[in-house]
């Protein structure tokens, strides 16, 4: 399912923030992908951490944010309904600005 011009073609540093386990392609699920931003859900098969990763492309380059999530994969449907991930991105943006 290769989409040309999609941000998912960007080489992502996909290491588990908890145990440094290198994710394989099969561990990465795309939740949302649009022009300039993509959200991925990663499931570490080593330490069982769930990681939410947001990749944003801007004039400044590619920004990637990883968040350890306690969401199970089965909750992904809920995320889409409530747009929680969008609020998370905004919160993270504020957090980074205040740093
Ligand atoms: Zn891990």
Question: Could you tell me how far CA 16 lies from the centroid of its own chain?
Answer: 12
Q: CA 71 to CA 93: how far, in whole Å?
A: 20
Rounded mean pLDDT, 9-24: 74
Percent of the chain past pLDDT 70, that is, above it, reads: 62
Distance from Cα 52 to the centre of ligand 1, integer Å: 12
Is 2 contained in some domain? no
Give me the pLDDT at residue 13, please.
Answer: 57
Is 59 contained in some domain? yes
Select from 66, 71, 98, 77 the least CA-distant residue to 32. 77
pTM over 0.85: no
Is 35 contained in some domain? yes
Is 1 contained in some domain? no
pLDDT confidence bin for 9, thresholds 50/70/90: very low
Q: Which two tokens stand for residue 71?
A: 């969401």
Any idea which residue has 């919160």 for tokens? Answer: 91
Distance from Cα 57 to the centre of ligand 1, integer Å: 26
Number of domains in the chain: 1
Distance from Cα 20 to the centre of ligand 1, integer Å: 6
Residues ≥6 apart with Cβ < 8 Å to 67: 51, 52, 53, 54, 88, 92
Distance from Cα 12 to the centre of ligand 1, integer Å: 16
């Amino acid at each position: 399912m290769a989409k040309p011009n999609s941000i998912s073609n960007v080489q992502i540093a996909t290491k588990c923030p908890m145990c440094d386990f290198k994710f394989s392609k099969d561990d990465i699920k795309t939740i949302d992908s649009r022009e300039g931003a993509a959200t991925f859900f990663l499931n570490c098969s080593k330490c069982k951490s769930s990681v939410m990763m947001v990749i944003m492309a801007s004039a400044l380059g590619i920004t990637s944010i990883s968040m350890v999530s306690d969401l199970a994969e089965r909750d992904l449907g809920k995320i889409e309904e409530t747009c929680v991930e969008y609020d998370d991105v905004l919160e993270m943006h504020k957090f980074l600005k205040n740093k």
